[in-house]
Structures are given as structure tokens and as C-alpha cells.
Amino acid sequence: MISEAAVQTVANVFMLSAIYILVALGFALLMNVLGILNFAHAAIYMAGGYICYELIVGAGMNPWVSLLISAVAIGALGLLIERVLFRPFLKDMNSIVVITLALIIILEATVNVTVGSYIRRIPSFVPGVFRVGTVSLSGDRLATFVIGSCLLAAAILFIRKTKTGTQMLAVSQDFDAAALQGINTRRIFALTTAIGCALAAVAGSLMGAVLSLSPLMGDYMLVKAIEIVILAGIGSIGGVLIGGLILGLLDASLPLFIGGSATDLIGLSIVIILLLFRPQGLFGHEA
Amino acid sequence: MTGERRIKTKRGGRKKLFISLGIVVLLCLVPLSTTSPYYLHTLIITFIYVMAAASLRTILLSGQISIAHAAFMGVGAYASAILAKELGWTPWLTMPLGGLFSLVFGAVIGYPLTRVRAIYFSMVSLFVGLAIVALLGVLQGITGGDIGMIDIPPLSAIAVPGLPHIDFDGSKIPYYYFFLILSFLILLVLYRIEHSRIGTSWKAIAQAHMVASAVGINESGMRILAFSVGCFFAGLAGAGYAHYNMVLTRSSFGFLSSINLLIYVLVGGSGSFAGPIIGTAVLVIVPEIVRSLQTFAPFVFGGIMLFVVFFMRQGIAGLFEQLQSKLTRSKKREMPGRAP
């Protein structure tokens, strides 16, 4: 019995971490490459989940096709947002803060008006449970973990190995030097936003199947994304993975022993204490 | 040259004083024309948020965009409410104590926060805000946790011999005048601080922190000072709210409230003192007007924000200043040889 609970918890840790990292990776990319703090990133994650929900439940489409469409649609939305809302204000932090907050309000209101504010649940992508020995795992949790890890591996390979990815890294390290090298920074900005948003959309859809969808789910995830990025340190992609695992471990295991708000408090305190001793995060270069 | 400029700013200051006194007199007349509790309530809430937003701008002056400000309102509110409820002290004493508690808390938190700047500061302050709200949940023995804290004593009656007896029970009108006067006084103090040597140092730090420390400004000290002064007035506003509302729930000081305060300041225009006042007035009162739109009302709110960003880069208050400078510039053109 005890071992089963332990295995379930471990499975939860990995599942939750995968979702956290998917969202936090996009958030970190936007922050490193564009240099903006996109508060709306988690609202975009929420919107992705709802698009997937509407396609499956409303239009009766195949779940996997819906997941893909949702990611593509949100990626396109990201392109639009980057072009219209972000690009004119890249150097102006105050404006970016107002714009991204306005985006949160508008996206949440759009969901409230179109779908409603009740909590929804996306039907299972992989119905049924898998049995490994005496332990059973729900298909969705397994699928979330598998999809999440594959996407992460793909994203990291893309960033590290392809020319475009290297260009993204170059822009994130030094915008001016990268632009002088002839890198098309506008294209990189657009691509980064699209990728980040699409990853968030997938995470939102998966979360909708594993747990539930609500218009306010983004607020919670925004905090987690920021926590992970701070833990990781600015400019570190690998750190996002570690940070996501740490936070997933805390959030999936601590509530078993102590209350929900105490868990939040511990997670937040760890981040604050870490900052006291290592302002640059675990893997960052400098703050 | 400097003497000339000083006279000029003084004259400008007097004009501003007259305008603000005019607004205060007009607001004083409101309860005579309407006694509708709904209107009074909306205005009281506006006053409370004006205090909070103006004190948030004080922190912003030093280049620190804090996303924890509502949480510090909560610190002041809960401190004052607990002292008044558990120890039975009069709210007239516990409110300043609530502010002081928030100040101390702000100084303790502001110290580690000086290690981070710009977006990193904003992100860490966001955690601090969340951690405070989580802490309020953990301490549910005294704060009531998610159920909330009830039976907070209202402001006790003013019974000074020779003055009319003012009772805060029942009517909203005494509260209205109380918050009107309190917010006016707080704004005066904040204005004086901003135009003192301290305020100038804050602005210098915000513009170029290296240069500021090179000319001998104690950067971290000044940043902590800005943060704790802002927290003091936020705590005071929160404490006032506690004794007005008489019920506290921790969610009213959460992430969204902090974000809203920041929106008030930025939409109003963080560059000018009137910014947070105008921003709060517009963004608290307009949603009340369009309340009949129900679920569509947030679009108005978001629409205003986007409109301001795209068409009024300096916020709503910046628009007035631009108009003013255009007017004065056309006057100045007649006098040659002077830099604008």
C-alpha cells in the first residue's frame, strides 16, 4: 500500500513537473530572448486548454488533432501578439507590464463570455489505466509525462542544435551583437513567441485532461512559471528543467503532509531564501 | 537661474495646491447631494485605493516596480484588526500601529530585495506578496484563514467635548469624510517627500543607479527607505479598510489586487504625482458605471489599459502634462534664448 502511494506520488511529481516546465520554458524564452516579462503567458496556457476543450467537446474532433490545432492556433496568436502588442514596446517595461496584464484580463473575460466560468474537464486523451506490477497509473498522467518530455527534448534540441535555435541563444545573450552579426532579430522574436505560446497551449490542454480547466488556472501557473525561472536563474534553459522538477516535487508531495497554503509558503520561502544567497538563481550567470 | 526656477516651481506648486483643494472641496460637497450608500461606498473604496496607489508610486520612484503592494495593505489591515479585536485597543491607535507594522515588515523584506533590480525585482516582489498571503492562510488561528476575519470593530466614535459627537456606526458619511481627509493628508505627505532631497535621490537611483551611488547616494538604503515608506502608507490604507469593511478575507490582498494597484499607477501615469490618483479614479469608477455589462465589463477595463498604452505613453496624467507643456511652449516661443 505504502509503496503504491509512493509510486503514485512519484508519477505525480513527473507529470506536474512536465507541465510546469512546458509553461516555464516558454516564459523563460520570452524573457531571455525578447527581454520582456510576459505576465500573460499563463493566460495563454489557459486559452490553449480551452481551445482544445472546445474542439473536442464542442466540435467533436479527435483529441490528438484538437491538441495539435490548439497548439498551432495559440502559436499563431503568439505571432499576432508579438507583432501588434510586444514589438512596439520592447524597451518600455511599464508599457509591457500594462499590455500583458490587459491581455490576462481580456483572455479571461473572453473565456468567461464564450465558454463560461464553470470548471471544465477535457475528456481523456488516453482513457483507461496502465498497470505496472501492482501499481496502476492513469493513461492521461502517463501521456502527459511522455508528451511533455518529448516536447521538451525537441525544444531543447531545437535551441541547441539548429541554426535558428543558436540564433535565439545569441539574441538572448547580446541583442546588439547578434543584430550586428546579421541575425534577423524580428524573425527570432516572432519565432520565439510562437514556440513559447504553442508549448504553453499543449501544457494547458494536458492540464485540462489530467486535472481541470478554469479561467483562473493561469494565475496559479504564472506564479509557478516565475518561481521556476527564478530558481533556474536568468538565461539558463537547463536550469528551467531542474527548477521545474524541484517545484513539481514540492507541489506534488508536500500537500500529503501539510496544508495547501503551507506548501505555497514553503515553495515561496525557498525561492526567497535562495535569492538571499544566490541572487542569480541556481544556474544563472548574474542577476 | 536656479533662483528663477525655484520661484517657478513654487508658483506651479501653488497652482496645483489650489486645484487639489478645489477637488477636495467638491468632494466634500458630495454627501450633501447624495446619501446613496452605493455611491459613497464606491468613493470610499476609491480613496482607499488612491492612498495605496500613491504609496506604490513612491516605491516606483526609486525604480522598483513592486507587485506586492496589496499584500502590505493586508499586513497593515490584519495587524490593526487583530490588535483592535483581540486586545480591544481603539482603532484610532491600532491604525497607525498597523501602518508601522507594515513599515517594519517592508523594511525587513526590502533589505534582501535590494539585491535584485528591474524585472527580477518585480518577480521577487510578486513572490513576497504571495508568501504574505500564504502566511495569512497559515496563521488561520488568528486571521481566520480562508473563512475570513469577522467582527472587526468599526472606528470608535469621536467624543471630544466642544465638538459635535461623530458616530461611525450606521452611516457611511463619517467614513467618507474620514477617508477623504486621510487620503488628502497622505497625498500631501507623499508629495512633500517626493519633492525633498530624498525624493530626488530616489529618482536619481531609478535613472542611473551606478551614477547615483557614485555621487554618494546610499543606493540600498534609499531603496529600502522608499519601499518601507510605501509600505507604511499602504498599511495605513489597509488598516482603514479593515475598520471600514469590518470583514477581512486574505484573497482581497492577493496577487490580483497587487496587480490592480500597479495597473492604476501605470495607466494613470507613473511619471506624475497625479497619475495614481487619476488612474485609480478612472479604473475604479468606470467599471462601476459599466457594471450592467456584467461579463463584458472586463473588456472595458482591458480596453482602457491598451488604449492608454498605445495612445498615451505617459499615462492619463501624462496627457494633461503634454497639453500643458504645449501651451507653455507656445507662450515661451516669444521669449528667445531660453531652454525649454
- What are the tens digits of pLDDT across the range B172-193? 788 888 888 889 899 989 988 8
User: Which of these ranges, A21-30, A69-78, B232-241, B326-335, has the smallest mean pLDDT?
Assistant: B326-335
> What is the reported pLDDT for B5?
45
Mean pLDDT of A235-245: 83
Angstroms from A262 CA to nearest CA on chain B: 6
Q: Do B301 and A105 touch (CB under 8 A)?
A: yes
> What's the rounded Cα separation, in Å, for the pair A126 and A93?
43
Facing A268 at nearest CB: one of B120, B131, B299: B131
Q: How many domains does chain A have?
A: 1
Whether residue B340 is predicted with pLDDT greater than 50 in this model: the reply is no
Please give the full DSSP string across A213-265, using - where no structure is assigned: B-TTHHHHHHHHHHHHHHHH-TT-HHHHHHHHHHHHHHHHHGGGTS-HHHHHH
Instruction: Confirm whether A81 is domain-assigned.
Output: yes
> What is the reported pLDDT for B13?
66
> What is the reported pLDDT for A52?
92
Q: Do A101 and B262 touch (CB under 8 A)?
A: yes
Whether residue A215 is predicted with pLDDT greater than 80 in this model: the reply is yes
Angstroms from B231 CA to nearest CA on chain A: 19
Q: Do A106 and B119 touch (CB under 8 A)?
A: no
Q: Do B124 and A272 touch (CB under 8 A)?
A: yes
Residue in chain A nearest B264 by alpha carbon: A98
Instruction: Confirm whether A187 is domain-assigned.
Output: yes
Q: What is the pLDDT of residues B101-143, one digit of tens each?
A: 999 999 988 888 887 777 778 888 888 888 888 888 888 777 7
User: Which of these ranges, A127-141, B232-246, B272-286, has the smallest mean pLDDT?
Assistant: A127-141
Whether residue A86 is predicted with pLDDT greater than 50 in this model: the reply is yes
Q: How far is CA A95 from CA A38, A241, A285, B57, B267, in A?
A: 11, 30, 27, 15, 9
Angstroms from A91 CA to nearest CA on chain B: 12
> What is the reported pLDDT for A9?
81
Mean pLDDT of B33-37: 78
Residue type, A17: S
Instruction: Confirm whether A118 is domain-assigned.
Output: yes
Confidence of residue B316 (pLDDT cuts 50, 70, 90): confident
pTM: 0.83
> What is the reported pLDDT for B2?
41
State what percent of residues in chain A have pLDDT above 90. Answer: 21
Facing A272 at nearest CB: one of B122, B131, B309: B131
> What's the rounded Cα separation, in Å, for the pair A188 and A185?
5
SS3 assignment, position B130: helix
> What's the rounded Cα separation, in Å, for the pair B100 and B104?
6
Facing A269 at nearest CB: one of B115, B118, B131: B131
Instruction: Confirm whether B184 is domain-assigned.
Output: yes
Instruction: Confirm whether B11 is domain-assigned.
Output: no
Q: Do B262 and A226 touch (CB under 8 A)?
A: no
Q: What is the pLDDT of residues B155-176, one digit of tens each?
A: 777 766 666 667 777 677 888 8
Q: How far is CA B259 from CA A82, A98, B71, in A?
A: 22, 10, 11
For B206, residues 6+ apart whose C-beta sits below 8 A from its C-beta are B60, B61, B62, B63
Facing A108 at nearest CB: one of B137, B255, B298: B298
Q: Which of A38, A83, A97, A114 to mutate to test the interface with B (most CBs of B within 10 A)?
A: A97
Residue in chain A nearest B250 by alpha carbon: A261
Q: Do A98 and B296 touch (CB under 8 A)?
A: no
Q: Residues B60, B265: contact at Cβ < 8 Å?
A: yes
Cell digits for A223? 506564479
Angstroms from B21 CA to nearest CA on chain A: 30
Instruction: Confirm whether B297 is domain-assigned.
Output: no
Instruction: Confirm whether B190 is domain-assigned.
Output: yes
Q: Do A265 and B131 touch (CB under 8 A)?
A: yes
Domain span at A153: 21-218
Instruction: Confirm whether B92 is domain-assigned.
Output: yes
Q: Residues B296, A109: contact at Cβ < 8 Å?
A: yes
Element spanning A94, H or E: helix A93-114
> What is the reported pLDDT for B6?
46
Instruction: Confirm whether B312 is domain-assigned.
Output: no
Domain span at B195: 38-255
Whether residue A12 is predicted with pLDDT greater than 70 in this model: the reply is yes
SS3 per residue for A114-175: HCCCCCECCCCCCCCEEEECCEEEEHHHHHHHHHHHHHHHHHHHHHHHCHHHHHHHHHHHCH
Whether residue B335 is predicted with pLDDT greater than 60 in this model: the reply is no
Angstroms from A109 CA to nearest CA on chain B: 6
Residue type, B288: E
Q: Do A268 and B267 touch (CB under 8 A)?
A: no
Instruction: Confirm whether B275 is domain-assigned.
Output: no
Instruction: Confirm whether A267 is domain-assigned.
Output: no
Residue type, A203: A
CB contacts < 8 A (A, B): 118
Q: B301 at the A interface (CB within 8 A)? A: yes
Angstroms from B148 CA to nearest CA on chain A: 14
Q: What is the pLDDT of residues B211-257, one digit of tens each?
A: 888 888 888 888 899 999 999 999 999 999 988 888 888 888 888 88
> What is the reported pLDDT for B72?
92
> What's the rounded Cα separation, in Å, for the pair B292 and B313?
30
Whether residue B8 is predicted with pLDDT greater than 60 in this model: the reply is no
> What's the rounded Cα separation, in Å, for the pair B338 and B325?
15
Q: Do B123 and A229 touch (CB under 8 A)?
A: yes
Whether residue B334 is predicted with pLDDT greater than 70 in this model: the reply is no
Confidence of residue B7 (pLDDT cuts 50, 70, 90): very low
Q: Do A272 and B306 touch (CB under 8 A)?
A: no
Q: Do B120 and A234 touch (CB under 8 A)?
A: yes
Report chain A residues whose CB lies below 8 A from the CB of B112: 272, 275-276
> What's the rounded Cα separation, in Å, for the pair B315 and B338?
28
Angstroms from A65 CA to nearest CA on chain B: 31
Instruction: Confirm whether B339 is domain-assigned.
Output: no
Q: How many domains does chain B have?
A: 1
Identify the burial level of B306 via C-beta atoms within 10 angstroms of its C-beta, where 0-12 means exposed, 13-18 middle and 19 or more buried.
Answer: middle
**Reported ipTM exceeds the 0.85 cut:** no
- Tell me the pLDDT of chain A averaged across its residues: 85
Q: Do A99 and B309 touch (CB under 8 A)?
A: yes
Whether residue A218 is predicted with pLDDT greater than 70 in this model: the reply is yes
Q: B41 at the A interface (CB within 8 A)? A: no
Instruction: Confirm whether A227 is domain-assigned.
Output: no
Whether residue A69 is predicted with pLDDT greater than 90 in this model: the reply is yes
Q: Which of A8-22, B201-215, B221-235 has the highest mean pLDDT?
A: B221-235
